[in-house]
Amino acid sequence: MNLVSLIDHAVLHPTATDDDLVRECLLAAKLGVASVCVKPYMVAQATALLSESNVAVGTVIGFPHGGNQTEIKAAEAKLACEQGAVELDMVINIAKALEEDWDYIAADIQGVLSVASHQNALLKVIFETDYITSDTAIQTLCEICSRLGVGFVKTSTGFGYTKQPSGDYNYLGATLNHIKLMTKHSASHVAVKASGGIRTASAAQSMVDAGASRLGTSAAQAIADGEQSSEGY
C-alpha cells in the first residue's frame, strides 16, 4: 500500500484560512489521501469541497490540549458529524492522565465514543506523547482504548510544545518507540496513528514499518514526491 493513501492531511494551523483549506482539499483529492483533518469550523466547507472525491473529512475534538469538559467534547463531536465529519481525533484530558485518574479518562473517551458510534464516525484518541511520556501511562491508555473499542490510538497533536534543552519551545511528535509501544499494547481491533513531525517519505515509511496504519501530517505533497523518487518515477 502506498504511503499517501495512509495520510490524514492536516489543515490545523491556527493561521490556516479558507483559501488554504480550498488549496489543501484540492491537493488531498489529487493525491488520494485517506482524509483531511480540518479545524472544526471548516468541516462543512471541507465536506462540500470533497463531495466528489473518496477523501474522508475529519476534525479534532478538544484540540489541542484536551481540557474541555466531556459534555463540551461530546457536543463538539455531534455538531462535527452533523456537518459532515466521519472521523474524529479527540485529545484526552492531559492533566487527568498525568494524575493517573484513569476512571475520568475512560469516561471522557466514552462520552465522545458514544457520539461517534451513534453517528457512524471513526474515533481516534490522541495521547499527546510530548506530555504523556511514561511507557506505563501509554500502556494504560492503550488498554483503556482497547477496552472501550475506539478506532485508533494516536501519538500527538503536533502542538504539544515543551521547553527544550536549548530553551526553545518545540515538540517531538511521533517516535518509533511510541508507535511500537502503542502497537504492542493495543488490541487487534485498535489501529495506531502516527502524528507529529512526519515530513518525509522515509520518516513515514519507518512509522508504518513500526506498526502505524495512519499518518497525520501536513506534508502530504513532500511525502508523495519522496515516495515517487524512491520508486524511480
Nearest to 90 by CA among 33, 161, 40: 40
Whether residue 64 is preceded by a cis peptide bond, meaning omega within 30 degrees of 0, is yes
Give the residue numbers annotated as catalytic, written as ranges. Answer: 89, 154, 193
Half-sphere exposure of 17 (CA within 13 A, CB side): 1
3-state secondary structure the chain: CCHHHHEEEEECCCCCCHHHHHHHHHHHHHHCCCEEEECHHHHHHHHHHCCCCCCEEEEEECCCCCCCCHHHHHHHHHHHHHCCCCEEEEECCHHHHHCCCHHHHHHHHHHHHHHHHHCCCEEEEECCCCCCCCHHHHHHHHHHHHHHCCCEEECCCCCCCEECCCCCEECCCCCHHHHHHHHHHCCCCCEEEEECCCCCHHHHHHHHHHCCCEEEECCHHHHHHHHHHHHCC
